Amino acid sequence: MTVTTTATAPPLPEDLTAVLKRMRMPYLRAIAPDVLATAKAQRWDPTEVLRVLIAEEARGRDEATKAARRKSAGLPAGKTFSSWRESDSSIPAPTQSALATLEWVHRAENLAISGPSGTGKTHFVEALAHQAIDAGMRVAWFTLESLTTAIGRASVDGSISKTIARITRAELIVVDDIGMLPSGQAAAEAFYRLVDATYERRSLAVTSNLHPAGFDTFMPKTLATATVDRLLHPAHVITTEGTSMRLTEATAGHGVIPLT
């Protein structure tokens, strides 16, 4: 059924509008005048009218939920698979396709992507995060620095357990660019706490210029061993290769805005 939008559709009666407001059905309320006008003109069956109205309310709520989850996730740049160039990535195409199904998230498996800067690690994981939100999941995105800040703030008032519990309500948790900046004991402990809390319960995706085997370069060795042991069991471990795509585009003049 096609709903014709028209400015001449009569408004809903005030008492019906009031009831819909009370029942918190803003999307149904917004489209109802056009649906009722179209239904009258095309002689719809009453059940079809109800179906269209309820479907619009459900659609609106789903979109609002996705928008709220994108905002709360803290995704960095809005990069999705629509701007991802599969052929430019060193990640094998079958691996990309398998990860994009998100079956590994449903199984609470982890993902570790390491490789040189600019080889698409963050873009790919953010695209997966957007896909997870579109599939009805919750996502939490951190850098190691922002994770350390969140855990450190919680340690001041003794709310670390509550903070970790809140983070792990997300089905997919991302820690991006591990090892890019110097980090100390607080960062190592924060990362371990998260890995331990998510172990076999939630999916954790990490990107780093370091392979997980080299995490002891920024963490105490004993803590690194315990962290990596949990992170990689079970996990999909991927290494990207090549030169920076950003640098390649810049040197080719792509994306450079000339000064006027």
The answer to whether 201 touches 233, Cβ cutoff 8 Å, is no
pLDDT tens-place values along the chain, 260 residues long: 576 666 578 999 999 999 999 999 999 999 999 999 999 999 999 999 999 999 999 999 999 999 999 999 999 988 999 999 999 999 999 999 999 999 999 999 999 999 999 899 999 999 999 999 999 999 999 999 999 999 999 988 889 999 999 999 999 999 999 987 667 899 999 999 999 999 999 999 999 999 999 999 989 999 999 999 999 999 999 999 976 655 455 445 555 555 55
Give the pLDDT of residue 247.
46
Contacts of 126 (CB under 8 A, 6+ apart): 75, 76, 77, 78, 79, 80, 141, 174
b/e burial code for range 86-123 (CB count within 10 A of at least 16 → b): eeebebeeeebeebeebebbeebbbbbbbbeebbbbbb
Give the pLDDT of residue 77.
84
β-pairing, 139-143 vs 110-114, is unpaired
The answer to whether 25 touches 55, Cβ cutoff 8 Å, is no
Extract the tokens encoding 257. Answer: 């805005």
Give the pLDDT of residue 260.
56
Taking CA 235 as the corner, what is the angle to CA 205 and CA 145, rounded to the nearest 5 degrees?
Answer: 30
What count of other Cβ atoms lies within 10 Å of the Cβ of residue 68?
12
Give the pLDDT of residue 4.
66
DSSP 8-class letter at 212: G
The pTM of the full predicted model, rounded to 2 decimals, is: 0.83
